[in-house]
Structure 1
Amino acid sequence: MDVVVGLRLCARRRSLGLSQRKLGEAIGVSFQQIQRYERGMTRIAVATLVRVAAELDAPLSFFLEGVGPQRQEPEQETLHGRDASIAQALARIEDRKVRAAFRTLIRALTRPV
């Protein structure tokens, strides 16, 4: 993870024609520290990464995209036609207890036997 972030930092800095010394001065660290970040030898703190992103005019996502565990959103069934209108009608029932009773009934009817 540190190596990927460092490589992206280096690529963005170079694309802007900025030296390690200039970037370091702008964010308040030495050019040696910038070297360590770029090589992935030192983990860059979030606060420092925010300053780097601002100085390099890049969103944080540029440095972090695809880094770390990826989570897939569970697929949700899409309601169509009558099913959608039933769900909308259920949502319009104002009495919370009545709405809960209908949900309980629906769950009971859909349980496998």
Structure 2
Amino acid sequence: MSIKRIGMGSRMSSAVIYHGVARLAGFVAEKAAGKSVKEQTADILAQIDATLKECGTDKTRLLKVNIWLTDMSAFAQMNEAWDAWVSKGNTPARATVESPRLAAAGLDVEIMVEAAVE
């Protein structure tokens, strides 16, 4: 079975599809960097939607999600955006952990997902 890479760069790919599973890289806010955790989460989820579409799948087929927050006191804010986005009746396995620092200043949320493709 072949490996398909989406958005491949010199350091990483946005997603890798293998054995019917799309594994997305960790996404951080682009347009909402430096804004509230809720806004950053909504920005990230929009990027995830677009990448899942490129992979031939969508959020109804999510299997697993990992979420990193720089401050766990923002958990409710993140969940506001998450709850508005996630497909009811198709919720994935999910873990949320605190990480004091992400890749750059102004980034307070990172989300990585896996979804079934076939």
TM-score tier (shorter):
under 0.3
User: Which structure has greater strand proportion?
Assistant: 2
Higher RCO (CA-CA < 8 Å; seq separation 6+): 2
TM-score by structure 2 length? 0.26
User: Which structure has greater helix proportion?
Assistant: 1
